[in-house]
Every structure is written in C-alpha cells, then in structure tokens.
Amino acid sequence: MKELLAIFATALVAMSTSASAQTRILLNCFTPPAHVWCESVKDWAERVDEVTEGRVRVVIPPKSMSPPPEQINSVRSGLFDAAFQFNGFMAQEVAGPMVAMNPFTGSDRSAVNSVALWRTYQEFFRDIDEFEGVELLALLVNPGANFYSMNDDPILSMDDALGRKMWALPGATSGILKQNGGSVVSGPAAQMTEIIQRGVVDGFVGIPPETAVAFNVMPYAKSVTRTPRSVFTATFSFFISDEKWAEISPEDQELIRSVSGEEFARRVGGIFDGRNVKGMEVEEGSLSIHQASDEFYAALQEAGKPFAAKWVGRIDGMGVDGAAMLARYQELVNELSSQ
C-alpha cells in the first residue's frame, strides 16, 4: 500500500508541475521502464505535448499501478486514464484486433503488421464499438514469435514441441500445444522470466527475439526454430478512458489522433523492429539457429486452422465477414512487406 501511495504521489507532483496544461493524462506502463513499450508511450506523450502545444500533458508513473491483465479495467475504474493491454487478456470482449493473432498471419516486422492491423480494423470495425468505456487510440502487433528450446534438443517437429513443457503467451500458440496434448504454462510475458529462469519449463514460444532479450530469458535458451510465417504475433490495444477523452477539446482530439492510429503503428512498430533486429543478432551470436522443415511447418499450420475458423465464426456472428477480414489483413501484410 505504501508503494502504491508513493506512485500516486509521484504522479500527482508531476501533474502539478504543468499548471498551464488544460488536460493531464495519467498513462500507466506495466513493462519495465527500459522496455520498448514504455519507451514508445513516452515518445507518444512527448508528441501529444508538442502537437497540442502543451494543452494536453501525459504523465507516466515510474512503476506500474496495476497488473498486466487489469489495464483496461483499471482505466475504466479511474485508477489511471490511459494504458495498453495485450488483447489475449481481453479476448472475451474484444474480437476484431484478434485477426492478427491468428496463427501464421503476420510477418517478422512489427511496423508492417501494425499498420496492416490498423487499416483492416478501421475498414471492418469502424462502426462497431468493442471497447466499452474507453477510446481506442492505436493497435500494435509484435514482430513474429519463434520456438526456443532450453535443452540440447532443438524443436524441429510437432513431437518435439509437444514432448516438453513449454511456456507460451495466452492465445492460439498455447492453444495449439494444449489441444494437441502438450504441457503448457501460460501467462503474461511480465511473469515468464521467473518461470524460465527457475527451469519450470523446457522451452518457450510466443515472443519475438526483442522480448526474449528485454525480459532476460534469451540466456536460458540453447536453440531457436524459425518458421516462414510467424506462429504467433501478439497484439496490443492502446486506449484512454471515455471520461478523460471527453475532457479534451475536439480540436485537440484530432491532433492527438494525428500521432495515434496508423502513425503510432508505423512509428512504434519501427521502434520494435529496431530492437528486434538487435535481438536477432543476439540469437545468432549465442544460439543454434534452425529453420522449420516443410513437414513441421505444414503440421503447425494444420493445427492452427481450428483457431482461425473459430475466430471467423465469431466475427461472422457480429455481422462482419470474418473470412474477408482475415484475407484483407494478410493481403495488407504481403503488400506492405514488399515495400
């Protein structure tokens, strides 16, 4: 309780230093301060201050005020005004952004995936309000994830992946392993470090090289297996409470939108990609690198089909053509990848 009060006090002091600002946004970041997400929202905060000429200021507390799965509920309850959250933790209420979490749909470039997702979402979900109580500012998709082995045997087949205990992010990746008989420990990326460092699992999947480095789990891997298209791409939603958004003038709302949406996707995706290139260099300097065989890749794709079909059915039930939306996202990923 004392630590939480200290965080509140720090945030209030920071907010009080900008007396000339008309609106102040308290933005929570649950990752470590040096992680790309905190770096990205700090960059966004500076741009908001710039484009609104100080009329809107963003304050980011030094430590997270809420656990990763509780970001949107904390915004709705007024604990803070804005945040980002992994869409896997909102899967029961948010469906559209999950198009990019279907297996083997994304590239290894965050900027490509993120711009493709924002455009697709705007095209198909512009008139559907999935985010009750909050205004959606942006969507972001991680670079693609790979399979990491923590023992001497690389993961080169479905039997290899299913025959060991794996950590995986919630979503299709953990589902593919579980539904095919694998043993899986699943949870927030922020909690995986201890699990992996303690040797609770024999491998991990669902995160890109950048995240493996950022959360200090790369040193515990001995090999990595890459697939032509990523087995999984995590998606995040960035939002602000409706109440706080309503405090901002329409003119400043438009200025904030100008540094959010697709612009945020491109800019922040580029930051992720830069970090991911460095993560891949760490991989190549310390791990055994393997490319998935055609047989392994085909088996993974086949195992992923039920998840895509379930998502398409859910979207169809919302009055949107799920198959067309999935096809459009993949079309945009291909188009943007070639640029």
Parallel/antiparallel/unpaired status of strands 223-226 and 147-149: antiparallel
Q: What is the CATH number of domain 2-141+234-276?
A: 3.40.190.170
Q: Check for a shared fold between 2-141+234-276 and 147-232+286-337.
A: yes
Task: Provide the H-helix boundaries in 129-260.
Answer: 158-162, 172-179, 192-197, 209-214, 242-247, 250-258
In this predicted structure, which of 24-28, 78-82, 171-175, 183-187 has the lowest mean pLDDT?
A: 171-175
Give the separation between CA 337 and CA 6, rounded to whole angstroms.
45
Contact 118, 261 (CB under 8 A): yes
pLDDT per position as a tens digit, 121-177: 999 999 999 999 999 999 999 998 999 999 999 999 999 999 999 999 888 889 999
What's the 3-state SS for 117-144?
Answer: HHHHHHHHHCCCCCCCCEEEEEEEECCC
Q: Domain coordinates of the chain in residue numbers?
A: 2-141+234-276, 147-232+286-337
- pLDDT for the residue 3: 53
Query: 70-128 pLDDT, tens per residue?
Result: 999 999 999 999 999 999 999 999 999 999 999 999 998 999 999 999 999 999 999 99
pLDDT score for 21? 64
With 0.85 as the threshold, say if the pTM is over it: yes
Q: How confident is the model at residue 13 (pLDDT cuts 50, 70, 90)?
A: very low
| Bridge partner residues of 235 (DSSP) | 141
147-232+286-337 has which CATH code?
3.40.190.170
Q: What tens digit of pLDDT does each residue of 203-219 get?
A: 999 899 999 998 999 99
